[in-house]
Amino acid sequence: METDFRLESSLWVGNKRYRALLTGWHFQWTEVDKKNRDKKTISVPVSEVVGVDEGQVEILPQKSTEDTDKDFTVFYVKRSSSGGLHGLLWRLGRIQFSCPSRVLRDQWTQHLRTALKTHSPVRPHRLLVFINPFGGKKKGRQIYHSLVAPLFELAGISSHVIVTERANHARDHLLKKDLTGFDGVVCVGGDGMFSEILHGLIGRTQQEAGLCENDPSVTLQPCPLHIGIIPAGSTDCVCYATVGVIDPVTSALHIIIGDSQPLDVCSVHHTAALVRYSVSLLGYGFYGDVLAESEKHRWMGPLRYDYAGTMVYLSNRSYAGIVQYLPADPLLSSPRDKTRCLSGCSVCSKSTGRLFPHPSDSGSLYSSHFSQFSNDSEEGEWVSVEGRFRCVSLTCMSSSCPKSPLGLSPSAHLADGTGDLILVWDTHPLGFLKFLYRHTSTQDQFDLPFVEVHRVKAVRFSLPAGKEEEAFEETGGLDEEERRHVETISRNGSQQQLTERSMGQEIANEQKSATPFLCGLCCSKAPAASVWNCDGEILPFTNIISRIHGQLVRLYARGIEDGATMHSCSEENCERA
């Protein structure tokens, strides 16, 4: 196979001579001096060649081609350090070669294109793009049209663009409209937009498979369409945790070359109904309170999270609860093993075989039921703990973000079919402050006597009997709308997908106004119950059951590339920013 694509010749860039070599998997060019000695080599994996065009081609500010007979231009992925602890920025590299003859030029372009088709077969050809015009700084449209669309055009990707007109527009489209011919769905926005796409695609896939999402023991069908995230929100945590940087060009290049990163998803249920899906944080206590408090101060913009965090910390709350969890196999990995889930993670790769025992399952992504939960004998023993907690958090990924570069659980994996359950028992305020502060540094936040972390497959949370009634009295229990909501989901399953964001917010607002929630430091009586923060949405229920679905979706990403690889590739297609 290798030799089929082998091509070697002298090529010129300006007046410098290069020896260019295509071996199938790699394209490299080495500058040769007048004495025929090799100078610097640049080597690019064929999978990272973005496109090849005849002539002298520019793409910015818009595509222009000077069609000369003996020239061709190669576009490729070029890395540069983001300067921080985290991943690498990707940029579009461009090199324009001249050949001694047109025949040789055509040979090069043909060979490169054939190598691309053979060694990069999973690149997208047609994408459905949703732009949230109001996300983040309201620059979604501009980001897409100026930075992303020209790259898609260069790579020969056709895209159908929908600018959303309301919340849940993208989700409803994915649930109801014809998606034939699309290879993937791209969202231009923040975590809220990603969540819409996630819910739409998972719901659609289960509808088509005839599966009921309400039952937590049902093994859900992995989604066949990939998701691409072009970050343009005020919180872009999923992008940060799966790419390592928040940068539209880097994300666009990952989409173009068809990178594929599986991602675990946690389903959250209340009684017999699905409430939501989560990929990053499902948090009760502190994180729920911060979200509820911050929603009251949306006018502050992103500053509201710092303000709410401070207020909630000062209110010094803890909550009674019963947490039950189903431990994952401790022999496979541990949340305290100091490993990091980086690009090419071996724990995640091995999990693919465990989660999809029949090779065809993972290949087609249309596996039939794979038993990791429903089979009682394999399920294992549930563990139960009861007490007062500052916070209870479940995360399917490290949940790293610019403010917490290692995240809530630094050794969590993106795609091993498990989540990390973090229990922070009631403690004195300074202890809790230490726990919070350690998230911003490299210190181990789990190395504290009041903190536990467990790698789990499922979690149940309930209020202790007496507290349930207290909380019920405080909130007035389920209101009419909540009851209708649960009934609708139970009846219609995936047809009527999930909590409407707007409705969820209304419920949360009602709940907030009904609860003497955080009336600041003056509030003398602490409420009996907190709320759940599910990837930035408040859940309308306290008693929940959640389950991790291994590798349920795939993103156009490859996990975080280690900045240290900059050293090994400094001779190749890398540069320091």
Ligand X SMILES: Nc1ncnc2c1ncn2[C@@H]1O[C@H](COP(=O)(O)OP(=O)(O)OP(=O)(O)O)[C@@H](O)[C@H]1O
33 class by beta-carbon count within 10 Å (0-12 exposed, 13-18 middle, 19+ buried): exposed
Contacts (CB under 6 A) with ligand X, residues 207-236: 233-235
Least gap, CB of 300 to ligand X (angstroms): 12
The binding track of 354-383 with respect to ligand X, each residue x by CB under 6 A or -, is: ------------------------------
Q: At 269, is the secondary structure helix, strand, or coil?
A: strand
Closer of 221 and 533 to ligand X (Cβ) = 533
Least gap, CB of 280 to ligand X (angstroms): 12
Which regions of 290-439 does DSSP assign to beta strands (E)? Answer: 319-327, 383-395, 419-425
Q: What token pair was written down for 27?
A: 């394209």
Selected binder of ligand X within 199, 501, 512, 554 (CB under 6 A): 501
Least gap, CB of 537 to ligand X (angstroms): 8
Least gap, CB of 170 to ligand X (angstroms): 7
- Contact in structure between 236 and 190 (CB atoms under 8 Å): yes
Least gap, CB of 286 to ligand X (angstroms): 19
Contacts (CB under 6 A) with ligand X, residues 110-149: 132-136
Closer of 129 and 545 to ligand X (Cβ) = 129
Residue type, 363: G
Q: Does 294 bind ligand X (CB under 6 A)?
A: no
Closer of 24 and 536 to ligand X (Cβ) = 536
Q: What token pair was written down for 125?
A: 């050809």
Least gap, CB of 178 to ligand X (angstroms): 21
Could you give the CA distance from residue 441 to residue 405 in angstroms, rounded to a whole number? 8
Stretch that binds ligand X, among 61-69, 82-90, 100-108, 183-191 (CB under 6 A): 183-191
Selected binder of ligand X within 13, 167, 179, 448 (CB under 6 A): 167
Q: Which of 555, 497, 552 is nearest to 175 (CA)?
A: 497
* Number of shown-chain residues binding ligand X (CB under 6 A): 22
Q: At 242, is the secondary structure helix, strand, or coil?
A: helix
Instruction: Give me the residue whose beta carbon is nearest to ligand X.
Output: 190
Could you give the CA distance from residue 205 to residue 199 in angstroms, rounded to a whole number? 10
Could you give the CA distance from residue 488 to residue 212 in angstroms, rounded to a whole number? 13
Any long-range contacts for 367-373 (C-beta under 8 Å, 24+ apart)?
A: 367/221, 367/222, 369/219, 370/219, 371/219, 372/219, 372/417, 372/457, 372/550, 373/217, 373/219, 373/457, 373/458, 373/547
Q: What residue spans of 210-269 are helical by DSSP H?
A: 237-243, 248-256
Active site residue 259: no
Selected binder of ligand X within 166, 428, 484, 491 (CB under 6 A): 166
The binding track of 502-541 with respect to ligand X, each residue x by CB under 6 A or -, is: ----------------------------------x-----
Closer of 189 and 563 to ligand X (Cβ) = 189
| Phi, psi values for residue 263, rounded to 5° | -140, 135
DSSP for residue 143? H
Stretch that binds ligand X, among 36-44, 81-89, 164-172, 420-428 (CB under 6 A): 164-172
Q: Does 165 bind ligand X (CB under 6 A)?
A: yes
Contacts (CB under 6 A) with ligand X, residues 396-455: none
Closer of 164 and 219 to ligand X (Cβ) = 164
**How many CB atoms sit inside 10 A of residue 403's CB?**
11
Q: What token pair was written down for 171?
A: 């989700």
The binding track of 319-358 with respect to ligand X, each residue x by CB under 6 A or -, is: ----------------------------------------
Contacts (CB under 6 A) with ligand X, residues 544-573: none
Stretch that binds ligand X, among 80-88, 191-199, 381-389, 436-444 (CB under 6 A): 191-199
Q: At 320, is the secondary structure helix, strand, or coil?
A: strand
Q: What residue spans of 329-477 are helical by DSSP H?
A: 346-355, 359-364, 376-379, 429-438, 465-475
Closer of 155 and 291 to ligand X (Cβ) = 291
Least gap, CB of 138 to ligand X (angstroms): 9
Closer of 74 and 281 to ligand X (Cβ) = 281
DSSP for residue 70? T
Selected binder of ligand X within 124, 184, 189, 321 (CB under 6 A): 189
The position carrying tokens 């306290």 is 542
Closer of 198 and 456 to ligand X (Cβ) = 198
Could you give the CA distance from residue 173 to residue 168 in angstroms, rounded to a whole number? 8
Least gap, CB of 196 to ligand X (angstroms): 5
The whole-angstrom distance between residue 410's C-alpha and the CA centroid of its chain comes to: 15
Least gap, CB of 364 to ligand X (angstroms): 30
Residue type, 482: E
- Contact in structure between 399 and 535 (CB atoms under 8 Å): no
- Could you say which of 53, 172, 191, 259 is catalytic? 191
Catalytic residues: 191
Which residues of the shown chain bind ligand X in the complex (CB under 6 A)?
A: 132-136, 164-169, 189-193, 196, 233-235, 501, 536
